[in-house]
Amino acid sequence: MLKEDGAATGGRLKILVCVSGGGTNLQAIIDGIKSNAITNTEIISVISNNKKAYALVRAAEEGIPALCISPKDYEDREAFNRAFLKAVQAAGPDLIVLAGFLVVLPEEMIAGYRNRIINIHPSLIPSFCGKGFYGLKVHEKALERGVKVTGATVHFVDEGTDTGPIILQKAVAVEAGDTPETLQKRVMEQAEWVILPKAIDMIANGRIAVEEGRCIETDKGGCS
Ligand code: GRF
């Protein structure tokens, strides 16, 4: 269980992972739990907005219950928001992990799961983030700007876009001759697949607290 201030209140952390694409971050979480890099945690469900997401294959291979809920299947956004929120609540997660999830969350959900939704973003926030910055676009802009270092960020989700309290970041060198694709691959391999599992393990063991909008690492057992 998790409280809004990040304090864990005992028992295994039940996580719901939301996906839209290949699911390599979901795979990193699955592998992290198997290798014990992530402790005290179980993936109780996967939700995708994309029926074709390979992440759904990864979930099926692990026997993880998965749902597909797409805005396209609803007459309007409000109807989707209601169905999505209902499915999330029915799963009963302690923590919701957005792993490449390309759908804007209902505000009601963000309010209802304050500091219990995390997202992995493929840049060092506050660079190359915000509306329109997702997937390859992030790396295109980093190369266009000529940065020498980029990376990834795990943060709590708030009402903004990529604006919630930063939990972990990891830097990755930009190399001569990089294309958006080679840079994306390096950021995923060297940063995303490292800090997302680490952040989940820290949260599962009560080692992250949010104070005045910033994350602090606490000793085991949650808030200082
Ligand atoms: C990753 O690059 C992640 O940073 C971004 O979306 C992509 C998801 O990839 N949020 P995958 O579906 O986890 O492979």
Q: What is the pLDDT of residues 74-133, one digit of tens each?
A: 999 999 999 999 999 999 999 999 999 999 999 999 999 999 999 999 999 999 999 999
Of 19, 49, 120, which is best to mutate to test ligand 1, by the most ligand atoms within 8 angstroms of its C-beta?
120
Element (H, E) at 123: none
3-state helix, strand, coil in the chain (%, to 5): 35, 25, 40
Of 102, 128, 192, which is best to mutate to test ligand 1, by the most ligand atoms within 8 angstroms of its C-beta?
192
Q: pLDDT tens digits, residue range 32-45? A: 999 999 999 999 99
- Of 199, 150, 175, 168, give the one whose Cα is nearest residue 32: 199
**Structure pTM?**
0.94
- Asked if pLDDT for residue 7 goes beyond 60, the answer is no
- Of 21, 33, 156, 9, give the one whose Cα is nearest residue 96: 156
- Asked if pLDDT for residue 210 goes beyond 90, the answer is yes
| Residue with the two structure tokens 């809004």 | 4
Looking at residue 8, its pLDDT comes to: 56
Q: Catalytic residue positions?
A: 121
% the chain with pLDDT above 70: 93
Looking at residue 219, its pLDDT comes to: 81
- Asked if pLDDT for residue 224 goes beyond 50, the answer is no
